[in-house]
Amino acid sequence: MEETDTAVEAANLRKRYGDTVAVDDVSLRVGTGEILGILGSNGAGKTTTVEMIAGLRTPDSGRVRVLGLDPGRDRARLRQVLGVQLQEAQLHHALTVTELIGLFHSFYPHPRPVGEVLELVGLTDRRTTRFEKLSGGQQQRLSIAVALVGRPRVVILDELTTGLDPRTRRRMWAAVERLRDEGVTVLLVSHAMEEVERLCDRVALLDSGRLVALDTPAGLVAGTGAANLDDAFVALTGSRAEELS
Ligand SMILES: Nc1ncnc2c1ncn2[C@@H]1O[C@H](COP(=O)(O)OP(=O)(O)OP(=O)(O)O)[C@@H](O)[C@H]1O
């Protein structure tokens, strides 16, 4: 693949919290328009990795480029092209759904219409509800809406569908498929194998902070001789944790 086909590049990323090595020499490249799944056990370093890519955490060492921008230095430019949904959205509790999306809408030069975003995440009938009155799943969908409203070229979704009901989950998958059709690059942190198989072109598998596999879902299954992605996950993770304990 040509260099210009690269949307996200992380090289030798490391991050330590006190004695905990959260991310240990992780390198990966995400092609333009690719959907990369980031998988791993709880505490494997997935969120820390995507936070470093988003510029929300500073790596101890290593290099990140998102569309050629350095998240540590080019913050303002990065905000225009990167949409981030993180596990804990910090949104103003007293504002309504429309007000919140409208607020973020105003930050971007070519945003999606607010109505379109509401439709995409299924919050049209909640548009006048204050954030604090939304259910957990609705708040999560609002954080996804906020990530998408600026028509970003790269999107980071951290646990897109965790805690969502089956119908809403499918709606979120359709939203990601729409992004795929638009050529948007997506990093998707997930624990849901069905979701990963359906959406992801490739998967980066982290185990105790290290990248232990980077392949297509089918490649991971074939490479481990497992019956399915769930079994491949189990085969590829856990050994380092046992080694360290
Ligand atoms: N702010 C922090 N301070 C100290 N340790 C942290 C902090 N954030 C994460 N860690 C530790 O770093 C490691 C990696 O955490 P991280 O949240 O990146 O994992 P994860 O793969 O996203 O986990 P999960 O699937 O549970 O969300 C864990 O051991 C975690 O306890």
ipTM: 0.97
Ligand 1 within 6 A of CB of 245: no
Ligand 1 within 6 A of CB of 40: yes
Ligand 1 within 6 A of CB of 208: no
Backbone φ and ψ for 164, nearest 5 degrees, come out as -95, 150
Q: What number of residues does the chain have?
A: 245
Ligand 1 within 6 A of CB of 45: yes
Residue 2's pLDDT is what? 46
Entry pTM: 0.93
* Host H or E run for residue 63: strand 61-66
Atom of ligand 1 at shortest distance to CA of 18?
Answer: 4
Q: Are 211 and 27 in contact (CB under 8 A)?
A: yes
Token code pair at residue 45: 């370093």
Ligand 1 within 6 A of CB of 114: no
The whole-angstrom separation of Cα 139 and Cα 123 is 10
Q: Are 168 and 96 in contact (CB under 8 A)?
A: no
Residue ranges and CATH numbers for the domains of the chain are 3-244 (3.40.50.300)
Ligand 1 within 6 A of CB of 48: yes
Token code pair at residue 94: 């007293």
Ligand 1 within 6 A of CB of 23: no
Residue 1's pLDDT is what? 46
Span from the CA of 42 to the centroid of ligand 1 (angstroms): 8
Provide block-wise average pLDDT over 10 residues at a time, the chain (245 residues).
78 96 97 97 95 96 97 93 80 90 92 95 96 92 93 94 91 94 96 95 97 96 93 86 58
The whole-angstrom separation of Cα 31 and Cα 136 is 33
Residue to mutate, 13, 20, 21, ligand 1, most ligand atoms under 8 Å from C-beta: 20
Residue nearest to atom 24 of ligand 1 (CA): 42
